[in-house]
């Protein structure tokens, strides 16, 4: 039997006034799968992911996590239920430490007093799971490279217990060396059974890191396939 989807979006429709942003989009991602979502600007990728995160409720259609209905009330509800979004514009607090950023909003404490030792341990565990256990949890985030800050965002998603991780253009501001390091992190997440949605315009990266791909055009699903064996020309045609 094939692996059941970790995430399934069925016939999602969304309209903003006279504009049809999503017109019956379907997407399924299995545990341990990297699924690339590609398409031109305005194809509907962002709206689809905002629907997944809880920022935009769909007008119709259904979402499922591990076979159970999923209808997040807002992005915070979505994160608590296991769907984490990592956007191009990172949402870190640069004046806080690595540990404080990893556990932002989930700080362990009693009667208003933070448990710093527990916080550092949990942050260190999340970073180690990404192969970055060398990062000092006490270090301020300000001054860290964009690549390292992205790792901290992903560690935050792990710390909250994400099942689905959305990476929106994760390599757009990275050097080639950092891109390879990011791919290593993605492979680690894949080995841990996370379902990963990888949004990118770089088709060679898609063919390198993704297992499957789905193409959106004008708010519709127009094709999908096996990423490593599909030529860039075919993906561009779709």
Pairing of strands 195-199, 34-38: parallel
What does the pLDDT read at residue 238? Answer: 92
What does the pLDDT read at residue 235? Answer: 93
What does the pLDDT read at residue 2? Answer: 64
Whole-angstrom CA distances from 99 to 73, 128, 135, 178, 227 are 28, 13, 10, 22, 36
Instruction: For residue range 67-105, list pLDDT tens digits in order.
Output: 999 999 999 899 999 999 998 888 898 899 999 899 886
- For the chain, which ranges sit under pLDDT 70? 1-2, 105-115
Within a 13 Å sphere around the CA of 116, how many CA atoms are in the beta-carbon half?
3
At 215, which helix (H) or strand (E)? strand 212-217
What does the pLDDT read at residue 1? Answer: 43
What does the pLDDT read at residue 114? Answer: 56
Query: SS3 for 229?
Result: coil
């Amino acid at each position: 039997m094939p692996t059941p989807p970790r995430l399934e979006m069925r016939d999602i429709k969304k309209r903003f006034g006279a504009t049809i942003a999503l017109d019956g989009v379907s997407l399924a991602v299995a545990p341990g799968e990297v699924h690339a979502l590609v398409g031109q600007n305005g194809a509907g990728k962002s709206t689809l992911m905002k629907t997944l995160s809880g920022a935009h409720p769909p007008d119709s259609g259904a979402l499922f996590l591990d076979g159970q209905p999923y209808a997040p009330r807002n992005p915070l509800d979505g994160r608590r239920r296991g769907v984490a979004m990592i956007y191009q514009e990172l949402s870190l607090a640069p004046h806080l430490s690595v540990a404080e950023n990893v556990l932002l909003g989930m700080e362990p404490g009693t009667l208003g007093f933070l448990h710093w030792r527990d916080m550092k341990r949990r942050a260190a565990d999340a970073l180690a799971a990404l192969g970055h256990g060398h990062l000092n949890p006490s270090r301020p985030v300000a001054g860290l490279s964009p690549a390292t800050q992205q790792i901290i965002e992903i560690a935050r998603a792990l710390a909250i217990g994400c099942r689905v991780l959305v990476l929106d253009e994760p390599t757009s501001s990275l050097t080639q060396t950092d891109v390879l390091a990011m791919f290593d992190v993605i492979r680690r997440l894949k080995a841990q059974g996370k379902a990963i949605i990888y949004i990118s315009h770089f088709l060679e990266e898609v063919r390198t890191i993704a297992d499957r791909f789905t193409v959106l055009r004008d708010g519709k699903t127009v094709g999908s396939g096996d990423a490593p064996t599909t030529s860039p020309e075919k993906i561009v045609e779709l």
